Amino acid sequence: MATVSPPFISSLNFTQSSSFKTSFASSSFTPKLLRPLSSFSVKSSRKQVEIVFDPDERLNKIGDHVDKEAPLSRLNLFSPCKINVFLRITGKREDGFHDLASLFHVISLGDTIKFSLSPSKSKDRLSTNVQGVPVDGRNLIIKALNLYRKKTGSNKFFWIHLDKKVPTGAGLGGGSSNAATALWAANQLNGGLVTEKELQEWSSEIGSDIPFFFSHGAAYCTGRGEIVQDLPPPFPLDLPMVLIKPREACSTAEVYKRLRLDQTSNINPLTLLENVSSDGVSQSICVNDLEPPAFSVLPSLKRLKQRIIASGRGEYDAVFMSGSGSTIVGIGSPDPPQFIYDDEEYKNVFLSEANFMTREANEWYKEPASATATTSSAESRMDFQGEISKL
């Protein structure tokens, strides 16, 4: 009788990896002819048989074996930005930096970064979709990878592509997030040589905001920003917001240069945390001591904030500047006021809607689906109250 070969076998292409070919070649992969379906017919001299063959199960086992044996060589990661729900500047340090106390929260706007192991043993290669973003040692991604090799002794280098969506000079921590994401990726692609805690501690050497992104998404940050107290999410994750950034950026150095400590808010930041716990987001909670100097650097930014508040007609729970600017955040609605569309002055502003987001333990941030998951406001607030009582 002629051998019967299912069409599936001849159509398979086993050229994906050498380990795949080895596993396949060493495997028994013979379909069996079983169970006669009818008696032998004298008239037709033919016998019906059923081929019992489950290629999916077999290939799944081979794929599992390959995944287990092959080292990780590529990662595609989401790199979200943050907002400062409130930002108090509490003093100036001897090292020239300022002490701050701020409620940071990750939001759903972010970049995508692709990492691949490079055959090079001497250089990383970074590309991006945006002109003007440095791709050499000035970029925090490259600084982060150099830091990882310095701390661990790893000799692995990478090809990186940054698909940038977070604007620069926005007060959203996009570069800091990229650096944290690069450290996490390097550790994964080196087999997890160190803990996230070590990555968080090292990251403060190249940027004050970077350690925050190793929280789970919400944190009370003090010192230069590098002292991170992880918090449960204080707000429902589906609470919408709109981000409005004019074309002009604010120089962080210039904003701090114009800061007058005697003109900052005198409210205790722990009181702000307690108010967040009891009242959620409100205009009185969203204090940013960097707004006055930023508005001095960029007077049009103050006018933009005032117009959003006036035009919102109560649509927003709070309107404030994030970080050192120049992004204005409106929490409570994903839609900008109509004048943003109508006025020639604002035709080139950056606009994005967003939500709060968090990450799971031992995982990096996931790019959100179109529908953002909700969380119980009451349950979340109770956890938040419990944590701030320890501060």
- The tokens describing 35, both together, are 């169970």
Query: Which residues are the active-site residues?
Result: 82, 209
Euclidean distance between the first and the last CA atom of the chain, given in angstroms as a whole number: 81
DSSP-H helix ranges across the chain: 7-11, 18-25, 55-69, 140-152, 174-189, 196-203, 252-257, 269-279, 291-297, 299-312, 339-342, 377-388
Whole-angstrom distance, CA of residue 350 vs CA of residue 164: 13
Nearest to 216 by CA among 331, 355, 378, 357: 357
> Which residues, listed in sequence order, are joined to residue 75 by a DSSP beta bridge?
115
Nearest to 245 by CA among 324, 180, 318, 311: 324
211 three-class SS: helix
Whole-angstrom distance, CA of residue 243 vs CA of residue 167: 11
Q: Which amino acid is at 253?
A: A
Please give the helix or strand (H or E) that residue 376 lies within, else none. Answer: none
